Structures are given as structure tokens and as C-alpha cells.
Amino acid sequence: MALIIPKGYKLKLLPETTEQSIKLVKMNFQDRLAEMLNLRRVTAPLFVLSGTGINDDLNGVERAVNFPVKCMGDRRAEVVHSLAKWKRMKLGAYGISPGFGLYTDMNAIRADEDLDNLHSLYVDQWDWEQSITAEDRNLEFLKDTVRKIYSVIKEMEHYVYKSHSHITPTLPKEIKFIQAEELLQLYPDLDPKGRENEITKKYGAVFIIGIGAELSNGEKHDGRAPDYDDWTTETENGYKGLNGDIMLWNPILETAFEISSMGIRVDKTALKRQLEIAGCEDRKDLEFHKALLEERLPLSIGGGIGQSRLCMFLLQKAHIGEVQASIWPEEQMKICAENNIFLL
């Protein structure tokens, strides 16, 4: 994604007012999310030991920031990419019953990101995970959970409007659900990003189902690690995948805007299948994978919701650097400043 400079962009909130609004949005959103999904807050690690299989490897190509731990014989630790697998282990450790779960503030460093309006070296998100039953591992349960999260996002949009009446809501009443394969059939001549733009512009808010599975054109809509989201289980409508992305249409940038990646997690059968597809069967002996294959971890659904991205969207900012402190290429900072985009 290239840097987008909205024509005639004007600040709707001064930096100091933005800071206050960020605090209020974050506090209120996490409280309402916890109420909606029966979650309790837990403390999360900034880093985990390398070689345990606990860290999220995202698309499988991003390098984790790592360092030697002196007092552990220089054994290496790595900054988390997300807490997709760590959270599931915590559900088991705390014995959290189905229908209840946990959330945490996740902070990460993703050194391989291409920096632009939406992508930063610094990632902050609410990582959440909820225990479920075997009967919950279906498409309708996934959709119901998405609707609950979307309703909280809508609440926050109106909360911001009450505080700043010049920031008017833009989201539709309901979120549209579509399979990645259906999206391909609708727009066969477009790449995945182009398809996301077309469908999200049309409906305003979309949940794309089946991220990570190979489509009929032999490609994936987007990559997914094989060991957390279930993207291969065949659903009741004949498609594959119990996961997806929440996409919002961003009227400031005029582009599809991913706010959350989430899904029902792999069970024993799906993990075996996806490790084989991904050529990662050597992971079976890692701590997390072994526990899952031995059915010592609860079934779950979970995901991440970008904190800075949510604030950026709700406060109608043009760049994620307007709502978080990070570092940016000098040329990008210069271009932004020339166009009334002031990075923190």
C-alpha cells in the first residue's frame, strides 16, 4: 500500500484533544467488548521464548525481533507478533468455562512492515480469546460473534459523535458477510486488495470469511498461519474456513480498512490438516502444538482488534501516526507535514 494523501485534508481534532479522545475511546471500547463477550482482563507478555511455538508467525515470513537472555545461557527470546496461541494456553491454565474468556493489551514490534497510512512498526491491539464448545464450531457462531464486536464499534462511533458533533458516523447498521471465494467470483479480474475495496465500498462494513484457504484460482485471499485460525474446515454452506477479517470502508483514505482478524481456532483435526498443507509438520513436537494435539487446551474463538486503527478510524485521521507514537521515514514525515498530517 502506497502512502495516501487525502486531497484537502484538515484536522478535525488538535493533537492535544486527540490524545484525550484516544484515552476515552480505548477505555470505553475495552469495557464494552468485555461485557459483550464475557471477557476478563489479563496481563500479557511482551516477549516469549523462541522455539516453543507460542509466538504467532503471521504469514510465516515476518521476522520476530529477538534477543539473548543473559541469565538463561543466552537462550533467545522474541517480541510477540500477537498472542493468538498464548491466549489459548491461558484459557486452559485458568480453567475458563465455555462462553467466557479473556482479553489483554498486546504490544508488538513488527520490523518487516512496509510503513504507510495503516502500518507501523509498533502494533497495539486488544487480543481476546473465548472458550467454546464443540457445538459452537460453526459458521453461525462465528457470525454472531462478529456481530457483537461490530455493535461495539458502532457504539463507539456514536460515543465519539456525542463528544465531537462534527465527526459524524459513517458505518452502516449491519455488517455484510461474504466468503473469500464468493468475492473472487464477483471480481475475478481484481487482486485481493482490489476485491476488498470494491465490496467494502459497496457495503460499508464487511466480514470476509475463509482467509488462508486456497481459492479456485489457486491463490489465497491472504496468508494465515496454520496453527491458530481454522481455515480448512468445510462449513455448512459448502465453503471452507471458520475465520476472517472485519473490513470497514474508510471515507478519509477511500480504501478498505482492516480493523480485526479473528476466527474459530483449530481443533486437533484441523491443526493436523493445516500443518500438512503448510509443510510445517515439524511443529507437532513444539510445546503449544503438542498440548493441542493431546487435547489439553480448550476449544476457542479469538482475535485481535487494532487499538490505534480503531482510534484512527473513529477520530477520522489520515495516518496511524496521528494516534500513536512511532518512527517513520523522514521523507514520509515531510510529505505528511506538508499536507496537514502531523505525526505524534
Q: Are 130 and 99 in contact (CB under 8 A)?
A: yes
Active site residue 56: yes
- Computed over its alpha carbons, how large is the radius of gyration of the chain? 20
Catalytic one of 21, 130, 261, 274:
261
Query: Length of the chain, please?
Result: 344
Active site residue 125: yes
Active site residue 265: no
Active site residue 135: no
Let me know the angle formed at the C-alpha of 295 by 291 and 298, rounded to the nearest 5 degrees: 95
Place of cell 485458568: 94
Active site residue 245: yes
Cα torsion 280, 283, 285, 290: sign: negative
CA–CA separation, 256 and 205 (whole Å): 9
Enter the DSSP assignment of 57: -
Catalytic one of 57, 127, 136, 245:
245
Active site residue 258: yes
* Strand 255-264 relative to strand 176-179, pairing: unpaired
Catalytic one of 32, 88, 110, 309:
110
CA–CA separation, 95 and 92 (whole Å): 5
Catalytic one of 21, 30, 82, 125:
125
Cα torsion 130, 324, 330, 332: sign: positive
Catalytic one of 21, 32, 56, 224:
56
Q: Other C-beta atoms within 10 Å of 191: how many? A: 11
Catalytic one of 105, 155, 214, 258:
258
Enter the DSSP assignment of 136: G
CA–CA separation, 229 and 262 (whole Å): 7
Q: Are 82 and 58 in contact (CB under 8 A)?
A: yes
Q: Point out the residues that are catalytic.
A: 56, 110, 125, 245, 258, 261
